[in-house]
Chain A
Amino acid sequence: MNNYLILNFTDAKLFRKLNKDNRNYGCKDYCFNSNGKYSKRDEKFAFIEAITVHQISNMLHVLFNERPVPSLRDCLYNRNEYYFNKAQESYLKIDTPKISNNNYYYEKTQLRKAVWDSWNPAISPNWEIVRKYIDDIEKFNSFVDKVSEILHIDALSFSFLEIISKVSNLSINERLSLYDHITNLKFISGLIYCLGIYKDNTFKPTVYSAITNKINVSAITINFGIDTVAKLSGKIIVPVSDDDIIKLKKSKGVATILDGGLVYIDSIKNGDHIDINDFVQVKDISDEKSLPASIKI
């Protein structure tokens, strides 16, 4: 085995940020486990070095049609030691320069935020949200029947916003009888705030958030956010056997490293024709972990 696979990688996104004590800080990313649990990435360890044997091993798994094994999340199957050892024998060179404080330049980027603890405050209520908010089909039907009865219309054939407007035009007694009905249904008083609560002899303005922000029921997350990210590019040289080359021919020939970094094949060269100056052998790269943000010394 004296052949080497030359791989290029471009724009590998590094989200984790470390302070001078190698403690995580300021990362908005989350880790999701297969059991549905998730936690902030800052509360988990990260690797101090940007790219370690673990990332290269996972990239090689994908490149050779194997399944990658996440380092930060639980996984039910084990990594293939053959590719892990191959990753250790590989060489890495990161071309992206370190700008200041021995750190890469972090640029601004827009993220899709899907985590359910950052609520979207500006949602217009609709019947589907009302149904989710009430979360009981009998209560929902009872509410709809009452609204239909008072307004003399088929309530569901109008949008909920139109219903709010129609309710606001009712007489005080009719409106209060609807509120009594809602109160008797129990645990759905948010609807009264949404329709405009009666206080100090006047009807207050409607508060949509009373029904749209019920946590884990009708509340939904904001879907965009801003974070900073460093983008790394460089080269990886991997020793390959004849069997590896045969397997490689059956693969798709590309993989990703870190977050969305494109890894593609440059060439396969004989060991006599490769130059490993400026490269670091991956087994010499420390896989020491950073301190989670929440743990204090």
Chain B
Amino acid sequence: MGKKVKNILLKIEFEGNGVVNMDSNDQKYVLKDTHLRARYENVSFAKKSFTINEDGKLDYKLKISRDCILHDMYKYNMISNVPNIVHNDYLFYNHLASTMSLVKGYMYANKAETLKRKGAITLCDAVQTCNAFSSLEVFSRSGEKVTNDGTTEKSDNSFYYKETVGDIKYSTKGDLDLMNLQFVSCDSIFDRYSFNPDKFEIYKNFLKISLPNFNGELGYYQLKDSNIEIPEYGILLSDEDVLKLVKETLTSMLKINIKRKGAYAKVSSVKIKLVSDPLIDTFNNDNDWISLKTDKDVNDLNFETEFFYNEINIEEAKSSRLEFEEKIKTAKEDAKKADKESKDIKNANKKSLKNNIDE
């Protein structure tokens, strides 16, 4: 095994036919001087990346947004991503400990506690790389026949415009942040409260399902090289856990196939670069890209992760956090007081308004 890996850069290429990601018809104001000029409201435009060309004119390329790509990447896991799960700790923590949640991140806000985790995967929009030329086509939509007065027949059929294109290729880049991936924080000081530490036992059981080798424990960790010397409370995943998450993510990535009526876009190639020196292993450097085509290529992947956190002794950590925890306590009390005062003011205003009306 060679150098330790700090980050993974991604280059993904797509090929397909037709438009898979639509935008609003607000584009008609932008495209009024182009061949996509539309005078009507019933127009569906493809998502576009706008640029200014060499002649100083507005130019565009079709694109697929990152949200569309991520949605398709996790389409089989989305079934668990329904709001009802927050009502049951076991369902909820099962969801929070899933590989999708650990990689993609999440946010669940409620009055008692707000759980959030920053996603470890950053993708850019996939922008068209070929010269495919899109145009507006007229389509018809058939509706049911309606009979008025039993004499005349009116049809609900309607015509609408939709932007279409033939064979098309896209490419995108992104990164899989191993620093984010390796640490699951539950610390409100750093505003990274991903799970309730009191429910760690439930969380741990589900983590063991997602990550069979998981053996982590709650502890205090200091970010290496940081000037802020406050240890953060959370779990540090092991090398095997990180590798497992990376492999699952890359496997899902290879299976991306965005389908829409009359259109599709599927992944044609995934290339990754294991970054050990961020100044050498860049997107511009064409060396050392690993091409992944099958699940076997992903399974054969092996690397050692660079860890960005050091574990700190509990006693030491608690003493250095004391001041900040006091600050949090005071901030929460102040917020409660301010809340109460504003409620009192609102009630007083309501009362005086009511009295005025009564008078």
Contact = CB atoms under 8 A, between A and B. Distances in A.
B295 interface: no
Interface residues of A, number: 67
Contacts of B58: 97, 99
A67 interface: yes
A209 to B, nearest CB: 14
B122 A132 contact: no
A150 to B, nearest CB: 26
Contacts of A109: 65, 67
A111 to B, nearest CB: 9
Contacts of A80: 227
Contacts of B353: none
A254 B50 contact: no
B51 interface: yes
Contacts of B189: 34, 76-77
B311 to A, nearest CB: 17
A34 B282 contact: no
Contact of A253 (B123, B281, B331): B281
B139 interface: no
B167 interface: no
B122 A260 contact: yes
A107 B47 contact: yes
Contacts of B30: 99-100, 105
A253 B226 contact: no
A128 B113 contact: no
B36 to A, nearest CB: 14
Contact of A129 (B87, B107, B190, B191): B87
Interface in B67-95: 67, 71, 81-84, 86-88
Given A35-B328, A254-B175, A265 B223 contact: no
A216 B125 CA distance: 37
Nearest to A250: B225
Nearest to B187: A34
Given A77-B230, A267-B282, A36 B335 contact: yes
A140 interface: no
Interface stretch (A16-24, A184-192, A241-249, A285-293): A241-249
Q: Which among B50, B81, B327 has the greatest number of chain A C-beta atoms within 10 A?
A: B50
Q: Tell me if B's interface is mostly helix, strand, loop or mixed.
A: mixed
Interface string A32-60: 11111110000000000000000000000
Nearest to B82: A223
B223 A65 contact: yes
Given A65-B224, A80-B227, A73 B191 contact: yes
Contact of A220 (B81, B83, B106, B308): B83
Nearest to A9: B124
Nearest to A231: B125
B158 interface: no
B179 interface: yes
A15 B209 CA distance: 37
Given A254-B7, A260-B122, A218 B225 contact: no
Contact of B278 (A100, A220, A249): A249
A216 B26 CA distance: 37
Nearest to A63: B278
B108 interface: yes
Interface stretch (A115-123, A154-162, A166-174, A196-204): A115-123
B24 interface: yes
B6 interface: yes
Interface string B26-42: 11011000000000000
Given A34-B188, A248-B279, A108 B107 contact: no
Interface of A: 8, 10-11, 30, 32-38, 65-67, 70, 73-77, 80, 95-97, 99-100, 105-110, 112, 114-116, 120, 123, 126, 128-129, 132, 216, 218, 220-223, 228, 231, 245, 247-254, 256, 260, 262, 264-268
The 9 closest A-B pairs by CB, nearest first: A253-B278, A252-B7, A220-B83, A114-B109, A108-B24, A35-B335, A10-B124, A11-B124, A252-B6
9 contacts: A32-B109, A32-B116, A33-B335, A34-B188, A97-B50, A97-B52, A128-B87, A129-B87, A231-B49
Given A76-B324, A128-B88, A262-B173, 19 more contacts: A38-B114, A65-B308, A66-B226, A67-B190, A67-B226, A74-B331, A97-B50, A99-B30, A107-B48, A109-B67, A112-B107, A114-B109, A132-B87, A216-B111, A221-B83, A247-B225, A250-B224, A253-B278, A254-B177
